[in-house]
Structure 1
Amino acid sequence: MAKSMLVISRQSPWSGPTAREALDIALAGGAFDLELAVLFLDDGVFQLAAEQQPAALEQKNLTANLQALPMFGVDQLFACQSSLAQRGIDAATLTLAVDILEGAALRALINRFDHVVTL
């Protein structure tokens, strides 16, 4: 049985249900006493951007789900520096406290977990 799981969220919050599904997997993982973490990569970093208006696209706001992660034992949150930079997102404006990683640190993070789920 796995002892740790990393969920890599690569989709923007408005591109369909995938971003919500990644968060649901992370939240559900809390029920299994796993070491849990979430890495926001590629367009997934848009989930951390401030002042989103999902109602304009008839989407649900993911902010409440994101803020609930620590209550479910998911207190290791990470974002990719180059993903943020490529999308013009300043790390100082993110809605959650995340550790910003790049290069070898990203690879080490991924290798540290027994299971890696990418959505």
Structure 2
Amino acid sequence: MSKSLLIISRQAPWSGPGAREALDIALAGGAFDLPIGLLFLDDGVFQLANAQQPASLQQKDLGANLQALPLFGVEALYASARSLGERGLGDAELILAVQRLDDDALTRLLDRYDQVITL
């Protein structure tokens, strides 16, 4: 039986390789039918913002890969409600539907997964 894995992505898409690495792990795990959840926390919620212009920072757009997550079986997508609110991101500004979780729900989420990786 596969162990469940929660990936916590805390980095903005332009602040280093962490955002892309979290996404790569999620896509790879999904391709192998592992039970995976992806949580966007802190500046990681900026990955969900639409209308990004990564080319101006000489970065690649993560948007297409994020939208492919459900195709790879990664459908458990979460974001910290506090992180979204602090950064002024509402549903209209997001490129991907995620379940917003308050702090108590985040704690319960961590308890549901066998393994947790933070990037």
* TM, length-normalised to structure 1: 0.95
When the two structures are aligned, how many residues end up with a matched partner? 119
Q: Is the 8 A contact 1:77 1:99 kept in 2?
A: yes
Amino acid in the other structure paired with 1:116:
V
Structure 2 counterparts to residues 61-72 of structure 1, below 5 A: 61-72=61-72
CA apart distance, 1:2: 4.4
Aligned counterparts, 1:93-112, within 5 A: 93-112=93-112
CA deviation profile, 1:82-104 (whole Å, cap 9, x unmatched): 10111111233211010000111
| Aligned-partner SS, 2:36 | strand
Task: Look up the match of 2:80.
Answer: 80
The worse-fitting range, judged by mean Cα deviation, of 62-71 and 85-94 is 85-94
Q: Does 2:8 correspond to 1:3?
A: no
Question: How far, CA to CA, are the matches of 2:91 and 2:116 in structure 1?
Answer: 24
Once the two structures are superposed, what CA deviation does each residue of 1:7-52 show, in whole Å capped at 9, x if it has no partner? 1000000101110000000011113322111000000000001100
TM-score by length of 2: 0.95
The separation in 2 between residues aligned to 1:92 and 1:112, in whole angstroms, is 29
Q: Structure 2: 5+ residue runs without aligned partners?
A: none
CA contact (8 A) 1:2 1:114 kept: no
RMSD over aligned CA atoms reads 1.1
Off by >6 Å, runs of 4+ in structure 1: none
With 109-118 and 89-98 compared, the bigger mean Cα shift is at 89-98
